[in-house]
Amino acid sequence: MPKFTLESDIDVRTFHRPFHERQVIMESTSLDEIYHYLESYISNTKDVFTSFSRHTLCAREELEQLVGTEQPVAVNIVLGQFEDILYINKT
């Protein structure tokens, strides 16, 4: 059974590239579970940073087509704080 990893390429504004490679933030055998996590992650960011957050999230129907393509499935930005670009890979 394939395993999917959700990876974060985060740029924290107060540091000079604190992570030099993507960080795995979730592993799952279900793309539905990963998509639900992404929705929660973005929602939590909006709750904390109400007026300064921006995001994009692909449609659920596009998720399978984006796995392993090096195209982001979501971008989560808190202006002046961080920019988090999220990818899904299959292992």
At residue 1, the pLDDT reads: 74
DSSP lists the bridge partners of residue 2 as none
Query: How far apart (Å, rounded) are the C-alpha atoms in residues 38 and 47?
Result: 14
Average pLDDT over residues 63-90: 91
Confidence band, pLDDT 50/70/90 cuts, at residue 60: very high
Q: How confident is the model at residue 71 (pLDDT cuts 50, 70, 90)?
A: very high
- In the DSSP assignment, the letter for residue 50 is T
Strand 53-57 and strand 23-28: the pairing is: unpaired
pLDDT attached to residue 2 = 78
Q: For 8-54, how does the pLDDT look when each residue is reduced to its tens digit (9 = 90+)?
A: 998 887 766 666 788 999 999 999 999 999 999 998 888 887 778 88
